[in-house]
Chains A and B, each alone.
Chain A
Amino acid sequence: KQEVTQIPAALSVPEGENLVLNCSFTDSAIYNLQWFRQDPGKGLTSLLLIQSSQREQTSGRLNASLDKSSGRSTLYIAASQPGDSATYLCAGASGNTPLVFGKGTRLSVIA
Chain B
Amino acid sequence: EPEVTQTPSHQVTQMGQEVILRCVPISNHLYFYWYRQILGQKVEFLVSFYNNEISEKSEIFDDQFSVERPDGSNFTLKIRSTKLEDSAMYFCADGAGYGNEQFFGPGTRLTVL
Q: Which residues of A contact B (CB under 8 A)?
A: 31-32, 34, 36, 41-46, 49, 51, 89, 91, 93, 95-104
Tell me which residues across on chain B come within 8 A of A99, comparing CB atoms. 33, 35, 43, 45, 102
Tell me which residues across on chain B come within 8 A of A31, comparing CB atoms. 99
From 80 to 113 in chain B, residues with beta carbon under 8 angstroms from any chain A beta carbon are 91, 93, 98-107, 109
In the bound complex, what is the Cα–Cα distance between A2 and B44 (angstroms)?
13
Q: Which residues of B contact A (CB under 8 A)?
A: 31, 33, 35, 41-45, 48, 55-56, 58, 91, 93, 98-107, 109
> Is A49's CB under 8 angstroms from B107's CB?
no
Q: Enumerate the 3 nearest inter-chain pairs by beta-carbon distance, A residue then B residue, closest first.
A: A98-B45, A43-B106, A44-B104
In the bound complex, what is the Cα–Cα distance between A24 and B31 (angstroms)?
26
Given the interface contacts A95-B99, A97-B56, A98-B56, does A36 sit within 8 Å of B42 by beta carbon? no
Tell me which residues across on chain B come within 8 A of A49, comparing CB atoms. 100-101
> Is B104's CB under 8 angstroms from A96's CB?
no
> Is B99's CB under 8 angstroms from A43's CB?
no
Q: Which of B42, B101, B106, B109 is A101 in contact with, Cβ under 8 Å?
A: B42
In the complex, how many angstroms separate the beta carbon of A28 from the nearest chain B beta carbon?
16
Looking across the interface, which residue of chain B has its beta carbon closest to that of A101? B43
In the bound complex, what is the Cα–Cα distance between A44 and B48 (angstroms)?
17
Given the interface contacts A42-B106, A42-B107, A44-B91, does A100 sit within 8 Å of B45 by beta carbon? yes
Q: What are some 11 contacts across the A-B interface (CB < 8 A)?
A: A31-B99, A34-B101, A41-B109, A44-B91, A45-B104, A46-B101, A49-B100, A49-B101, A91-B43, A98-B45, A99-B43
In the bound complex, what is the Cα–Cα distance between A45 and B99 (angstroms)?
17
Tell me which residues across on chain B come within 8 A of A36, comparing CB atoms. 104
A43-B91, A43-B105 are known; give 20 further A-B pairs, CB within 8 A.
A34-B101, A34-B102, A42-B106, A42-B107, A43-B104, A44-B93, A44-B104, A46-B101, A46-B102, A51-B99, A93-B99, A95-B99, A96-B99, A98-B33, A98-B45, A99-B45, A100-B45, A101-B42, A103-B41, A103-B42
Tell me which residues across on chain B come within 8 A of A104, comparing CB atoms. 42
